[in-house]
Amino acid sequence: MRVVVQDAPFDPGAELTAFSAGSAGVGAVVSFSGIVRDDHGDLDALEIEHYPGMTERALTQQAKTAMQRFGLADVLVIHRYGRLAPDEPIMMVATAAAHRRAAFQGSEFMMDYLKSRAPFWKKEHRAGQTEWVNAKLSDEDALMRWHR
Amino acid sequence: MRVVVQDAPFDPGAELTAFSAGSAGVGAVVSFSGIVRDDHGDLDALEIEHYPGMTERALTQQAKTAMQRFGLADVLVIHRYGRLAPDEPIMMVATAAAHRRAAFQGSEFMMDYLKSRAPFWKKEHRAGQTEWVNAKLSDEDALMRWHR
Amino acid sequence: MIEILYFAWLRERIGIPKETWMTEAVTVADLVDELRAREERYAIAFEDISSLRVALDQELSSFDAPLSGVREVAFFPPMTGG
Amino acid sequence: MIEILYFAWLRERIGIPKETWMTEAVTVADLVDELRAREERYAIAFEDISSLRVALDQELSSFDAPLSGVREVAFFPPMTGG
């Protein structure tokens, strides 16, 4: 299990290669990467604030929960903070398991959690203006489906 | 959209990097890779037979269906045939979309399809013996959930 | 004249990957009956068609489908890709 | 004495990322009342606590939770990671 919170850029493909190499014996690896989108062509940067200490703690705890709940062989979480440009990767999650269903579910579970329970906040910079991104109700709903 | 059926090995991480670079403007990329498992420590090789012509055709058709159904920006499918060693990647699927749910669903849909509708057959080589892998009822069930 | 292809254990049981066959069969099931009548290895291979799948001109189809206009018929066990 | 942390727009409205505060508050809600009474920027920032979240010693918690034994309280808007 590996949880990384960093301001430096990273390459999801290279991380996937390293993660897979470290997961001998598994049959299925799923990865998710989230990328800075510029829907209106006017985004200068996405700024990500986080809560040092709590972030690592919360992500580690959730990765452990995912490992146990879905019987995963391994979990990787990388999340950036600081100032990011459009098309840069923001974060990635990868899960390794014997079978595909567990790997998919583990990654979706991690993502739904990350979106609304890990202490990150996004601020958009557009044409000299800044605006905090609002939490989406749909993200809260997505998380609720895991509560049995 | 890219569909590749090949006997040569491939690196899912490198393919993910190339796929992501080609998908500017998307917010979410999901990848799945399937790897040769050796559960009992006695697998010499996994042999994969396919139906040249129909394979490419079936995968391309399904990738188009996935693009449309889930509003994907891009889909990648790579599937090997021939003789593979334990821990070698068998295949991968990657999907790019604006949001995570579509990217996850697109990849799961492609995988469920691939497992029981694309013309591939696996044969296990163990200690000089060979055995064709039986189709799993659970794979058929997995596919059925997409039939609305 | 149609081209018939066999895959996986069906190919192994019949002993060839493909052959050309002159047929009067109206449906896939009729063609299977013709093949079964040829030789025992066909009769054995096609004993239980519920464990087999068929593709007509590279599209998955069913055993009651008509053969009219079809050039390539493929028989194989359930697929195990991915 | 507890450490209070603010994040995102809450941090910007209050104007500082953290501060140490001497409190007699029994619950988080009591602490919020104390802060609101200090200065208008606090009153405005904490106007609607339904739009805020709280963590006690780096664990998500709720506004009716007791503060006893807590060293670090963090207030912030709903999270938007991923």
Any B CB within 8 A of A64 CB: no
Closest alpha carbon to B31 in A96, A85, A116: A96
Would you give the distance in Å from CA A71 to the centre of its chain? 19
pLDDT tens, B88-102? 999 999 999 999 999
C-chain CB neighbours of B132 within 8 Å are: 8-9, 77, 80
For D47, phi then psi, to 5°, come to: -55, -45
pLDDT tens, A13-52? 999 999 999 988 899 999 999 999 998 899 999 999 999 9
Nearest-angstrom CA–CA distance, D26 and C25? 87
Structure confidence at residue C32 (pLDDT): 98
Q: Do D81 and A132 touch (CB under 8 A)?
A: no
Whether the pLDDT of residue B148 is over 80: the answer is: no
Nearest-angstrom CA–CA distance, A105 and A123? 29
Residue B39 CB burial class (10 angstroms; 0-12, 13-18, ≥19): exposed
Mean confidence (pLDDT) of chain D: 97
Q: Residue D60 is encoded by which pair of tokens? A: 């998500």
Nearest-angstrom CA–CA distance, C7 and B136? 18
Nearest-angstrom CA–CA distance, C35 and C25? 10
For Cα atoms A65, A71, A77, give the angle at the middle one, nearest 5 degrees: 50
**Neighbour tally for C57: CB within 10 Å:** 16
Q: Taking the alpha carbons of A7, A8, A11, A16 in that order, is the dihedral positive or negative? A: negative
Structure confidence at residue A148 (pLDDT): 66
Q: Do A13 and B29 touch (CB under 8 A)?
A: no
Q: For residues A53, A59, A61 and A62, what is the CA-based torsion angle, rounded to 10 degrees?
A: 160
Structure confidence at residue A147 (pLDDT): 85
- Which chains have 3+ CB pairs within 8 A of A? B, D
Structure confidence at residue B25 (pLDDT): 86
**Averaged over B143-147, what is the pLDDT?**
90
Mean confidence (pLDDT) of chain C: 97
Any C CB within 8 A of B11 CB: no
pLDDT tens, C17-32? 999 999 999 999 999 9
Any C CB within 8 A of B58 CB: yes
**Is A50 strand, coil or helix?**
strand
First CA to last CA across chain D, in angstroms? Answer: 34
Tell me the shortest Cα–Cα distance from D35 to chain A, in angstroms.
21
Q: Residue D70 is encoded by which pair of tokens? A: 């807590």
Residue C54 pairs in a beta bridge with: C61, C75
Residues contacting B23, CB < 8 A, separation 6+ = B29, B73, B74, B96
Q: Residue D9 is encoded by which pair of tokens? A: 């727009």
**Averaged over C42-55, what is the pLDDT?**
96
Structure confidence at residue D32 (pLDDT): 98
For D18, phi then psi, to 5°, come to: -160, 160
Any D CB within 8 A of A80 CB: no
Any C CB within 8 A of B83 CB: no
C-beta of residue C3 within 8 angstroms of C-beta of residue C22: no
Percent of residues, chain B, with pLDDT higher than 70: 99
Residue B132 pairs in a beta bridge with: B123
For B2, phi then psi, to 5°, come to: -140, 125
> pLDDT-based confidence at B23, cuts 50/70/90?
confident
Regions in chain A scoring below 50 on pLDDT:
none
Percent of residues, chain D, with pLDDT higher than 70: 100
A-chain CB neighbours of B87 within 8 Å are: 24-25
> Which string of b and e fits A111-139 if b means at least 16 CB within 10 Å?
bbbbbbbbbbbbbbeeeeeeebeebeeeb
Structure confidence at residue A59 (pLDDT): 98
Nearest-angstrom CA–CA distance, A55 and A57? 5
Structure confidence at residue A23 (pLDDT): 86
C-alpha separations of C81 from A6, A112, A133, B32, B59 in Å: 38, 30, 42, 14, 11
Tell me the shortest Cα–Cα distance from B131 to chain C, in angstroms.
9
Any B CB within 8 A of A101 CB: yes
**Averaged over D15-44, what is the pLDDT?**
97
**Averaged over D43-67, what is the pLDDT?**
97
Would you give the distance in Å from CA A3 to the centre of its chain? 10
Structure confidence at residue B89 (pLDDT): 97
Whether the pLDDT of residue C56 is over 80: the answer is: yes
Nearest-angstrom CA–CA distance, B18 and C39? 52
> pLDDT-based confidence at B137, cuts 50/70/90?
confident
C-beta of residue B37 within 8 angstroms of C-beta of residue A25: yes
Provide the ipTM.
0.94
Structure confidence at residue A24 (pLDDT): 82
Q: Do A27 and B37 touch (CB under 8 A)?
A: yes
Structure confidence at residue C72 (pLDDT): 98
Structure confidence at residue C13 (pLDDT): 96
